[in-house]
Amino acid sequence: MGYRVVWFKRDLRVHDHWPLHEAAHCGPVLCLYVVEPGLWAQPDAAAQHHGFVRESLQALDAQLRALGSRLHVAVGEVVDVLAALHAAAPFEAVHAHEETGNAFTFARDLAVGRWCRAHGVGWHEWPQFGVVRCLRDRREWQPHWEQHMAALQAPLPDRLYTPDLGNAPDAPVWPWGRQPLPTATELGLDPFEPPKRQQGGRLRAEAVLSDFLQHRSARYRGGISSPLSALDACSRLSPYLAHGVLSMREVVQATREQLTAITPEDKRQRLGLQGFVSRLYWHCHFIQKLESEPELEWRNLHRGYDGLREADWNPAHFEALTQGRTGWPMVDACVAMLRETGWLNFRMRAMLVSVAAYPLWLHWQPVGHWLARQFLDYEPGIHWPQMQMQSGTTGINTTRVYNPIKQAMDHDPQGRFVRQWLPALRRVPDSWLFEPWRMSADVATRCGMRVGQDIAVPPVELMDALRTSKVRMHALRRQPSVRAAKAAVVERHGSRRGMPGASRDARGEERPAARRKAAPPKAQMTLDF
């Protein structure tokens, strides 16, 4: 009996799932997820991603069983799994979502397409986000996004019919047998998971979405910048979107429905929801960058910046950052929060990258791999363009240099966040909280703190390091060859007028539209869930 394979990747749901809908419309389907050892061996993979996926797979299997089917989980590389299955029980086609992921998934999807064509198997892909494969002109992108988000969600099949391969007398044995899902350790991952990370699964995702739309969205505008308020003010939907437990389209449509339902008096909630939709545009805008130029993951977007930091790599600086031992309280507190929760608001993420790129003068790629493992909601299409933008290697963005001491003063003036995540600083007076290494020995003793042990001494003098990094960066930007090459980057990747908050100045720099004085800085015009 002919059947089709629905291959689940980062789309762990049955709702708004066009590959599943279309395959089910054609006849029996086998629902397949492949645990790929090669994918989990990549430097951006972490045990917390594995744990979240495991929980979401359990939920997906329950959803499929309610429709009369089940989820088959195989272990191996995808082409090998498909080849073994096809040899045992030939299928007609593979249905899947497009994926804009890391270099491994890019090469893997190309290999799957080649295998399907070589074996006469249909290969059908559908867009996952508002991302256009083989985009000809960036000017076409925004209308496409609107069209995609306004389109009908894929109807949920009334029932799924599975190929009757396991019951017939001559039925093949499933090539993968009855393998248990490998543990993180078996996949070669460090087993540590943040103890307070978000849990996977559709029910949890729906609960978080409902809570945000109904209640927390009123705190979104103005609440997402500070690490104190962002925990509740942000939507907290990013891991569910990154792993496809929710579709982007259903989130956009649900948000717009809520906007039509609220009363005129609910001004704060309206502003919050409008700001959230704006950032959903930017979510896909950045993924489109990686879709259009996959090399963003491993080389500078603007090649004129090649060699800027590579030769100056300082392992001690990298260790200070990753261990939360920079001595700058806001930086170290953010690293501590990441270890505990797997999440951090965007402004603090940008600050971490800025500190790595400028005073510590670290190349963005190793820092990016480390942060990818720290973020439960790691989305390659957002992560790598943002790493480069915040590190100044795009060539089209204004240099963004965050002073971690000023960030602490602006967003944690009473030191509540810092003291929460750095217990050694709880007795330190406010006057010394942002630069505790400058305390005298007597003050430190009275606080019960040992400078250099309980709190590190910064590896560089901050203002001198910032000044030096800016000079080096601006000198490079002024070079005629670097300036000349910027136009091509702008044409390929720059935002366009008509996108929320998007415009460009006379030099081609991306910048948001005019804002009130109280509005957040330019960096916040990117994704902030």
Could you read off the pLDDT tens digit of each residue along the chain, which spans 529 residues?
A: 589 999 999 999 999 999 999 999 999 999 999 999 999 999 999 999 999 999 999 999 999 999 999 999 999 999 999 999 999 899 999 999 999 999 999 999 999 999 999 999 999 999 999 999 988 888 889 999 999 999 999 999 999 998 877 554 444 456 666 668 899 999 999 999 999 999 999 999 999 999 999 999 999 999 999 999 999 999 999 999 999 999 999 999 999 999 999 998 999 999 999 999 999 999 999 999 999 999 999 999 888 899 999 999 999 999 999 999 999 999 999 999 999 999 999 999 999 999 999 999 999 999 999 999 999 999 999 999 999 999 999 887 678 899 999 999 999 999 999 999 999 999 999 999 999 999 999 999 999 989 999 999 999 999 999 999 999 998 998 888 887 777 766 666 665 545 554 444 433 444 433 333 333 334 333 344 5
What is the CA 377 to chain-centroid distance, rounded?
5
Positive or negative, the CA dihedral 375, 377, 381, 386 is negative
Residue-by-residue DSSP string for 342-405? S---HHHHHHHHHHHHTTS---HHHHHHHHHHH-TT--HHHHHHHHHHHHT-SSSB------HH
* Rg of the chain on CA atoms, in Å: 24
Phi first, then psi: give them for residue 138, nearest 5 degrees: -60, -25
Read off the DSSP letter of residue 90.
-
Domain 202-291 has CATH 1.25.40.80: yes
Which residue spans of the chain are classified as CATH 1.10.579.10? Answer: 295-525
Which residue spans of the chain are classified as CATH 1.25.40.80? Answer: 202-291
Domain 4-150 has CATH 1.10.4080.10: no
Distances (CA, A) of 42 to 37, 246, 372, 523: 9, 25, 11, 29
CATH architecture of 295-525: Orthogonal Bundle (1.10)
Neighbours of 75 (CB within 10 A): 17
Which residue spans of the chain are classified as CATH 3.40.50.620? Answer: 4-150
**pLDDT at res. 175:** 66
